[in-house]
Structure 1
């Protein structure tokens, strides 16, 4: 007797419905797990084994179907959102987020009453969305994202995600220079020039084992992963990660500008400034006597 072929049902639920409605309006969306953070890399992409690090700048070339690259996983493709690879994810999803920069928007995240008062006195009115602790002010126009540009104020646009909390109220207006200026105070935040590191070669000569590409690449990829997946205490995490990398690879001179640039880029993708990155790197060098 022929066994009936099971019917695969598409995932459903209010969060997926909201995501599909946003995608239909060409707003790139992604699911968030508990804690308002993206889902971690899938096993195939652990430690960016898939080569997924370029996703920190633009989607691809990673072909992983799972939403495991934070903001770069945001999509408007309904086939992806409802496909089998994401079905189990929606069952564990706690919220929906979107990539503001991907749809030409900037979110000024006001995290407390004082920040809201500052915005009302300083910024032009625009569409506002109530949040758990404050408000999102949404402007037309994309820019570089940055955290803690002032007390209780984050900028979420390119290379960032914002939680979807509803359409909000008010008329959306153009991104003002006053918001851009909050980030412009720190020049070259997008593509910093990595600081070269000069360290002594190992005593006794011989080939440094860290120069094996697989060994060093894996170490840098794990460091990037640690920075990327942190959800709190970013400053401390960046410093400790830099310290760990220099402890393992800093005395033989194998850390090139390209490797250091990857670490700086990962830190800046979490909102760190060039100054913060440089200070953390210098402090780690001092701590190790390098």
Structure 2
């Protein structure tokens, strides 16, 4: 789901907590996990029961703990689409003190490219595919369909908010949400190092059809990408090698004819990351597969 609901700040003078709660429920109904922000536009801190990880959760919020606290503890990990939770006593008390509504982009299957200033916006317009944009106090949020690891300061004035992060809700924005491109995924890669793999003998099939690209039929390419996703998902051990060999197979079939798009690559990366692979490993494995095939 994507945040397509038309939740906006009422102009009827209604109480702020009613406004925030209404917005939160509209977003949750659209499949967007939400949480309240307190003064300073930051999440509410852990309650006494959850303080310092006493509940079994992780206070640094790098991973979601097993905590089932009824209050909006644990920052992004507290985000929910459950209307019963959102309107419960502990959450309602939080809405009374809330200054804004936030959402967990990764939980909604989204990535937000946070552009903090005019220079960052100019860079995005010159280098990234157009997508839905939302105006912010200092810049813009560019929203793409597809999750990825969050990262701060990937370049001057640019942060990425997706998994394990929250973004402030500032309205539905304008434009159509497009698929997360590889150019955005690559922004989070830090100091990539080559993956050392044993040399693999691989035969690239000869072109057929008198040199004409045989993969222009959408169903053929879609079937190939779907099978590659399934192969990665089905891997139970040796995931690193399974990902590399799957990338190799996809590139062998489609890497020389221009059929692959950023959306296809993103689907493969997403399947690999769902199995626990890092974006860095995905990027390295893809680069090594291309190098092995000379594409």
The answer to whether the 8 A contact 1:55-1:72 is kept is no
1:33-53 C-alpha deviation (Å, 9 max, x unpaired): 111110011011111111111
Q: What's the secondary structure of 1:139's corresponding residue?
A: strand
Tell me the distance in 1 between the aligned counterparts of 2:65 and 2:101: 21
RMSD: 1.8
Tell me the distance in 1 between the aligned counterparts of 2:146 and 2:92: 33
1:3-30 C-alpha deviation (Å, 9 max, x unpaired): xxxxxxxx96011000000000110000
Give 1:73's aligned residue.
78
Alignment of 1:142-221 (within 5 A): 142-187=147-192
Tell me the distance in 1 between the aligned counterparts of 2:176 and 2:111: 14
1:135-155 C-alpha deviation (Å, 9 max, x unpaired): 000000100000000110000
Does the alignment pair 1:135 with 2:140? Answer: yes
Tell me the distance in 2 between the aligned counterparts of 1:59 and 1:48: 11
Tell me the distance in 2 between the aligned counterparts of 1:77 and 1:138: 23
Tell me the distance in 1 between the aligned counterparts of 2:79 and 2:106: 11
Tell me the distance in 2 between the aligned counterparts of 1:164 and 1:184: 27
Of 100, 116, 125, 1:95 maps to 100
Q: What's the secondary structure of 1:41's corresponding residue?
A: coil
Does the alignment pair 1:19 with 2:24? Answer: yes
Tell me the distance in 2 between the aligned counterparts of 1:109 and 1:152: 8
Does the alignment pair 1:28 with 2:33? Answer: yes
Stretches of structure 2 lacking an aligned partner (at least 5 in a row) = 1-15, 194-295
Normalising by structure 2, report the TM-score. Answer: 0.58
Stretches of structure 1 lacking an aligned partner (at least 5 in a row) = 1-10, 189-290
1:158-189 C-alpha deviation (Å, 9 max, x unpaired): 0000000000000111111111111123459x
Tell me the distance in 2 between the aligned counterparts of 1:86 and 1:25: 19
Tell me the distance in 1 between the aligned counterparts of 2:91 and 2:187: 37
Tell me the distance in 2 between the aligned counterparts of 1:111 and 1:21: 27
Q: Could you list the runs of 4 or more consecutive aligned residues of structure 1 that deviate by over 4 angstroms after TM superposition? A: 57-60
Tell me the distance in 1 between the aligned counterparts of 2:47 and 2:35: 15
1:247-270 C-alpha deviation (Å, 9 max, x unpaired): xxxxxxxxxxxxxxxxxxxxxxxx
